[in-house]
Structure 1
Amino acid sequence: MSVKETCLICFEDIDVARMLSIGTCQHKYCLPCLKHHVEINLQNGIVAQCPHKDCKCEVNVDSCKTFLSSELANVLIERIKESSIPVTEKVYCPFPRCSALMSKQEVLENTKTSFVSEGGRKCVKCKHYFCINCKVPWHYDMSCYDFQRSEMYSCVEDQLLKSFASKKLWRQCSKCNHMVELESGCYHITCRCGHQFCYTCGAEWKNKHATCSCPIWDEHFIIRP
């Protein structure tokens, strides 16, 4: 007879060979449950921890590669890097097609032999130059002082906010333009200005009813992992 263990997520008796540990803590769960647990956390923008009660062990990337798609595995690597860099040290490439995350130390090391002037630095990934002070592609013909007082600066800031909001899946209220982030609950959003709309498509809710046919909720927003 094969040896079985009980998965403490689904409470099924599973063959030991199909049980998996995702961290150094050695707590084991069945493959489908662990896969779901890690994917849901990544969808919420966080690195999954071991689901065992009071265990703070984070998932091991190599273990997760056995059941995650290459795309999600890369997202996990990026999330782990994000959590390892202090907020004050984080630098993002301002080029939308890159948006690489770097630490200030990485940026300085990468630009030692190709320093431009003032805030000019080079992205470690795409190798394009950007301004570490203004957080925009490098403004070759202007100083940081002049650029930040130009009309271009406000336009670039708006574009960066929209790009960031798109990546984070934020939605903008069509009435007051306030940005909204759904952490949990259904897709029926009531903005602080009182305007009600669908988080999925932005369609207005009228008389407490949706005007679109989008799903009203998603399980992973209702039941938190």
Structure 2
Amino acid sequence: MLLFDRVCCISKWFQRRPCIICSKRCRRDVLHFCQHSYCKDCTVRWIEMVIAGDIREISCCGKVLDSSMLRNFVPSKIAAQYKRAVKLRKLGGIVCPQCLQKPISECVEPTTDSQFPSPENKLNCRLCAKSFVLPAAELDDFLALEIAAVIHGWKRCPGCTTLIEKIEGCNHMSCICGISWCYACGDMYGEVDHDTCYNL
């Protein structure tokens, strides 16, 4: 009987999957969206990093964590914040579908005299001069983000176009995409001399 109890105990231990981040073996509250397992505590911390802007999104094994998978796993408020953070980062990376060269925020020219695109959601690219249409929901989010960027003085990384807010310190920015750039002039380090750039 003692041997049977040991075998059952070992069997139950192996049924628990280790969290790929903390290595803690968990049977309940484990998230599986790829080939790995994530415990609830690590998943919440990971999501908080996305919300804070430290990372772009949660991805592993070539898969991106969809916010719908978080339902019933983390509090709904955190799941909603993750969904919004990922959506805003994707908006920052929208490119012109014609020339694929610049983020929309840098190549959009309004189709009317106003500062913003026309009600038809039609945008004109300054590079290729072609027009394209954004879905209304994307356009609303895009405009809200652009207005917030202007109001707060945020700048975009020249590598991945992520919006960056400088709170204090020097102008040397190190983005999550790996690019180092100057907040004052917007150029990447190594391309120009930044000795004349003053702290903003």
Quickly name the TM-score band, shorter chain normalised.
0.3 to 0.5
Provide TM-score, normalisation by structure 1. 0.41
By relative contact order (CA 8 Å, sep 6+), the higher-ranking structure is: 2
**Length-normalised TM-score, structure 2:** 0.45
